Amino acid sequence: MTHADEVVKSTNIWTGNCDETIYGGIAIKNNRIIYVGFQDLDKYVDPDTKVLDYGNHLVIPGLHDGHAHMLMTALMHSGKCAPLYNTKSEEKCVEIVKKYDKPENLIGGWLIGMGWYQLLFDNKTLPTKESLDKAFPNTPVILMDSNCHTGWVNSIALKKLGCTDENTKDNPNFGRLKNGELSGIFGEATFMKLSTKILMADESAMADLLSKTTHGMNALGMTQLDDVASGAVPHSDQILDRNLKTKAN
């Protein structure tokens, strides 16, 4: 008789095979479920079996998130990313980002924020690099809009990314000031490419953030996810599979 390494018991187990919960337990061997039920459960228990009895608490299969953006989620919950949601002006965004301008908040040398939306600004106008240049002349800054399809950066960030007025002149994704200079705004196609380059400047830091985030997801019952942007993040699938109890697709 095969004995389980672990048995999870509850009076409320939902298997997904029927609408009602069942009474009993789940026997696990080598991280595989070998029995679910009540009648023969004791046969799988020996003195070395770890028994977890959750009383009448609900036990369910792991949840599957079918559309996740793990890198952005990790950033949002890292404590390092300046939250700019519901800000009413470009100036307010800069004010908030200043509070995060600390060495421990930099990722790969970058100061990062997320959540601004120009249509919520009082003037309904896209921000520019000029306000960021005044506040952060020596630190590269990238501030992502609320849907993470537009980036707002300062001059030192453009320089670090190798973006000049000349080499971007044929790229409509780059915003321009009235004098023709780069404004510090770039649209979706360019944003996706450059933001990945920025965020993965320190792969070990991002791996640590991914690990912490998915452990939090595990605590909420999530064991599988579809990371829709995983192809843009080098080695993200290996990071998830190697360090976590989460299956990433």
Q: Which of 111, 103, 108, 73 is nearest to 205 (CA)?
A: 108
Q: Is 140 buried (19+), middle (13-18) or exposed (0-12) by CB count in 10 A?
A: buried
* pLDDT one-digit tens code per residue, 129-175: 999 999 999 999 999 999 889 999 999 999 999 999 999 999 999 99
Residue 237 binned pLDDT confidence (cut-offs 50, 70, 90): low
Spatial contact of 115 and 146, defined as CB atoms under 8 Å apart: yes
**Whole-number mean pLDDT of the chain?**
90
Q: Which residue type, as a one-letter code, is found at position 124?
A: K
Kindly list the distances between the CA atom of residue 111 and the CA atoms of 68, 78, 168, in Å, as whole numbers in the listed order: 23, 13, 23
Element (H, E) at 195: helix 188-199
Tell me: pLDDT of 241 over 70.
no
* pLDDT one-digit tens code per residue, 38-89: 999 999 999 999 999 999 999 999 999 888 888 888 888 889 999 999 999 9
Instruction: Output the six-digit token pair for 134.
Output: 């005044």
